Amino acid sequence: MAIDPAAVGRAGEPRTRSWTSTDALLYAVGVGAGLGEPTSELAFTTENSDGVAQQVLPTFAVLLSQAPPPSFGTFDPALLVHAEQAVILHRPVPVEGTVTATARVAGVYDKGSGALVVTESEAVLADGSLLATNRSAVFIRGAGGFGGDRGPRDDWAAPDRAPDRSVRYETRPEQALLYRLSGDRNPLHSDPSFAARAGFGKPILHGLCTYGVTGRALLQEVAGGDPARLTGMYGRFSATVVPGQALTVEIWHGTGDEALYRTRTDDGTVVIDRGRATIGSA
């Protein structure tokens, strides 16, 4: 198993993806919209409710802006986990459309116990306008120790006070089976034998599903439910979630247009840490 530090700057093949109203609705339900109260998020879960125009959850842009990464080494895919995720939205996600994205390797870092590989991509709409910028990092266990840079430090710290907002969302035991229909068919989230190879007792929830649930909380609690106002979101995946576990998102108002957050399970385990969200004006 070897990671190639020289992969930095390498680009993959462009990917063009089209989506429909139905795809946006399926994504919303996949990250729990409407769970427990089916009429609470109709703008994201229906297209024909009286007086309610369909809108798209901002975190759907993460899926739209993904593209196949170039080769950055050889490793057992069961040892790869999603480590960090950031998205910048340059405009609200349309209900339907077509984007083209190309991923490039932005960083390869030696964390000792593993390697952290960062990729970036931009999703460009068919009219040439920029929809979103995507930055994702994966951690490959056992692939560190090659003598590379450890990477930049993050000075994030939770404020020394109770969260300004806190909201708890349930997930379904079958949440991963629903979320995977939006495109992420990694068997880690559905196949018990593959999950066992990765060291888990059962399939775990997609990190990006947890990210999407968290995005719903940020949208409602600090962006007034307006997708145009949630313009950026970053988080570090710090622990796994089992489908069916509830998630509590703790939010602190920051300076300027920034809010800080973290997401935890009911036993206090933080599953998304060092969270930052950028909130635009109304």
Q: Which of 184, 206, 253, 266 is catalytic?
A: 184
Among 179, 19, 42, CA closest to 95: 19
Distance, CA of 67 to CA of 83 (rounded, Å)? 17
Residue 16 confidence (pLDDT): 98
Which H or E run includes 115?
strand 114-125
Answer yes or no: are the C-beta atoms of 207 and 186 closer than 8 Å: no
Q: For the whole model, what pTM was predicted?
A: 0.95
Residue 173 confidence (pLDDT): 98
Distance, CA of 107 to CA of 103 (rounded, Å)? 12
Q: Please count the other Cβ atoms lying within 10 Å of the Cβ belonging to residue 130.
A: 15
Is 189 designated active site? yes
Answer yes or no: are the C-beta atoms of 109 and 119 closer than 8 Å: no
Answer yes or no: are the C-beta atoms of 202 and 209 closer than 8 Å: no
Distance, CA of 107 to CA of 4 (rounded, Å)? 11
Distance, CA of 70 to CA of 223 (rounded, Å)? 35
Distance, CA of 220 to CA of 165 (rounded, Å)? 11
How many whole angstroms from its chain centre is CA 203? 18
Domains: count for the chain: 1
Distance, CA of 264 to CA of 19 (rounded, Å)? 31
Report the CATH number that the domain containing residue 228 is assigned in CATH: 3.10.129.10
pLDDT tens, residue by residue, 196-221: 998 999 999 999 999 999 999 999 99
3-state helix, strand, coil in the chain (%, to 5): 20, 35, 45
Six-digit token pair at 238? 């710090």
Six-digit token pair at 204? 């775990």
Instruction: State the pLDDT confidence band at 4, using cuts at 50, 70 and 90.
Output: very high
Query: Which amino acid, 256?
Result: G
* Residue that the structure tokens 């369909």 belong to: 54
Residue 198 confidence (pLDDT): 86
Q: Which of 110, 189, 206, 273 is catalytic?
A: 189
Query: DSSP state, 269?
Result: -
pLDDT tens, residue by residue, 133-181: 999 999 999 999 998 989 998 889 999 999 999 999 999 999 999 999 9
Is 80 exceeded by the pLDDT of residue 1? no
Query: DSSP state, 11?
Result: B
How many whole angstroms from its chain centre is CA 64? 11
253: Cβ–Cβ under 8 A, 6 or more apart, which residues? 164, 222, 259
Is 206 designated active site? no
- 148 φ/ψ angles, rounded to the nearest 5 degrees: -90, 175
- Can you give the residue range of the structural domain that contains 181? 2-279
Q: Point out which residues pair with 11 in neighbouring strands.
A: 104
pLDDT tens, residue by residue, 212-270: 999 999 999 999 999 999 999 999 999 999 999 999 999 999 888 999 999 999 999 99
How confident is the prediction for the chain on average, in pLDDT?
96
